[in-house]
Amino acid sequence: MHDIHSDKILILDFGAQYTQLIARRVREIGVYCEIWAWDHDPAEIVRFAPKGIILSGGPESVPEPGSPRAPQVVFELGVPVLGICYGMQAMAAQLGGRVEGNHSREFGYAEVRLTAPCRLFEGLAEALPPAPHFGEGESWMGQPELPAVAAAAQPVRLDVWMSHGDRVTAVPPGFHVTATTESLPIAGMADESRRYYGVQFHPEVTHTKRGTEILRRFVVDLCGCATLWTPAHIIEDAVARVRAQVGQDKVLLGLSGGVDSSVVAALLEKAIGDQLVCVFVDTGLLRWREGDQVMATMAEHMGVHVIRVDAAERFYAALRGIEDPEAKRKTIGRLFVEVFDEEAHKLQGVKWLAQGTIYPDVIESAASRTGKAHVIKSHHNVGGLPERMKLKLVEPLRELFKDEVRRVGVELGLPHEMVYRHPFPGPGLGVRVLGEVRREYVELLQRADAIFIEELRKQGLYDQVSQAFAVFLPVKSVGVVGDARAYEWVIALRAVETVDFMTAHWAHLPYAFLDHVSRRIINELRGISRVVYDISGKPPATIEWE
């Protein structure tokens, strides 16, 4: 069995919005990495034993007193270091260079010229001469003929993404300038003898055309990491760890039908078979026929032991008369725990509760000062159950990003439609029926939403948008059905495009497509007389209506 954690990269986070993207790119290359706060305990960094370290960007200004710096141990481990944006500036300041504040920020596309040999950029274009490979104790300063060789070659130009205010104005001793732009004399620097590299641009974002190649050069060629981080190896490792962790004990999982819990179920079934018991609470607030789909996929196709609890009437009764969105959320969450708790107590010999914690949850929940990762976010609304039931936690996905969870799900044999389904809120359609939730409203919404999603799939648009759904509006609108005047409900359609769901643009779906969906909803659903399309971005609007 492969040790998929043996070759690893440490990313020290200075607070950049792109830090998790760096980690995702490194993982996509096939190398395990972790994100720790910039002020992490140096002793733990030594014990972690990374084969390379990446210093992230950040919002602070290096010349400002008290601005963050990398622990000195980073430069004492003898491993390659890559500074990105703020990380490059911090490295320069700490190693004897000079950084100055810049009153005009540079944000957006830029063209970088690679002006000198650098192993980090090797292979990006034939116009670059071979980079120097120094022996121990040698440096750029000991190779006076190389700058002339570099100057004779035509500089390679790269399209990159910039986002910075400060700039390095003098490189530290032992470094040389590797890249420039029209407005930035030092856009890259390197000390080949110590394998220290800095880039002012962001190789992790897709706007930087050959950014992944640069990161691959760093983690694979310069750090010497083997590309062991693959879905097949991740599954192999997770199965072995789960078996060692739970032994012959029974494990309980709250199955929601979402991606995370479905992948956990498939993974645990592979690891421990009939020791896994899943409880699926059908709240009546799921998508059209979703309960049946979950049972068909997990119980029949995957062979998972699933107990289905039909609690729809209890949820509708509890939500009667409640219009406030937050009150609805709390009611749904409280009742879910209550129903799940009742079913869990009927089971004998269960000692573990499985949860779909993923790596971004761990990062967000970790204390910055200590870097200790402790999850404080509840998942699938069963956060209080371990304490009340005296259950121990098993979290097989806690090292994975969402995109990795999806790839593992496909590798495990879950249907593509389930694994790559659009996000769905925890309270379900309870927050997509505006105002009071009634069964008749939910049923209309389920069918309208199903028509919208069906047509998106038919036209090949489903995977082109990040999230799409219908909303039931509790207002009546005048319409004409046949020769009669109708006074019926309104459905809103929502589709957005986004990278991180922090901001989003409304999707510009074809007019003919929207017209077809609208006609189908009005013609097929008695009670709907009008369909509208939401063209609000985030911000100012949120993606969900409630």
Tell me if 479 sits within 8 A of 442, measured CB to CB. no
Residue 204 a catalytic site member: yes
163 is in an annotated binding site: no
Which residue has tokens 């690891």?
A: 271
Phi, psi of 456 (to 5 degrees): -60, -45
Tokens of 9: 């990269």
Is position 282 annotated in a ligand binding site?
Answer: no
- CA 52 → CA 195, 214, 222, 258, 432, distances in Å? 10, 14, 8, 35, 46
User: In this structure, what token pair is assigned to residue 25?
Assistant: 């790119």
Q: Is 258 annotated as a binding residue?
A: yes
In the block, residue with structure tokens 């650098």: 118
Alpha helices in 423-504 (DSSP H): 439-458
State the SS3 of 344-375. HHHCCCEEEEECCCCHHHHHHHCCCCCCCCCC
Query: Cis omega (within 30 of 0) on the bond before 540?
Result: yes
Which among 57, 111, 46, 44 has a CA at the least distance from the CA of 86? Answer: 57
The DSSP secondary-structure symbol of 540 reads T
CB 433 within 8 A of CB 470: no
- Quote the CA–CA distance of 365 and 368 in Å, as a whole number: 9
User: What is the token pair recorded at 59?
Assistant: 């919002």
Q: How far is CA 306 from CA 195, 292, 303, 347, 377, in A?
A: 53, 12, 9, 12, 25
Residue 260 assigned as binding residue: yes
204 closest CA partner among 309, 57, 344: 57
Token pair 């032992």 in the structure block, residue: 174
d(C-alpha 176, C-alpha 150), whole Å? 12
Annotated catalytic residue: which of 176, 202, 379, 380?
A: 202
CB-side neighbour CA atoms (13 Å) of 15: 10
Is 118 a catalytic site residue?
Answer: no
CB proximity list for 518: less than 8 A, separation 6 or greater: 531
> What's the angle, vertex CA 71, arms to CA 66 and CA 77, rounded to 5?
160
Q: Exactly one of 33, 85, 225, 278 is catalytic; name it.
A: 85
Beta bridge partners, 385, equal none
Residue 545 corresponds to which tokens in the numbers above? 């209506």
Q: Which of 34, 192, 204, 399 is catalytic?
A: 204
Residue 162, SS3 per DSSP: strand
Is residue 223 part of the annotated active site? The answer reads: no
Task: Kindly compute the dihedral angle of the four CA atoms of residues 527, 528, 529, 531, in this order, to the nearest 10 degrees.
Answer: 170
Name the nearest CA neighbour of 191 among 209, 207, 176, 169. Answer: 176
Strands 250-255 and 276-282: parallel
Asked whether residue 261 is marked as a ligand-binding residue, the answer is yes
Please identify every residue annotated as catalytic: 85, 202, 204
Known binding positions: 256-262
Known binding positions for ATP: 256-262
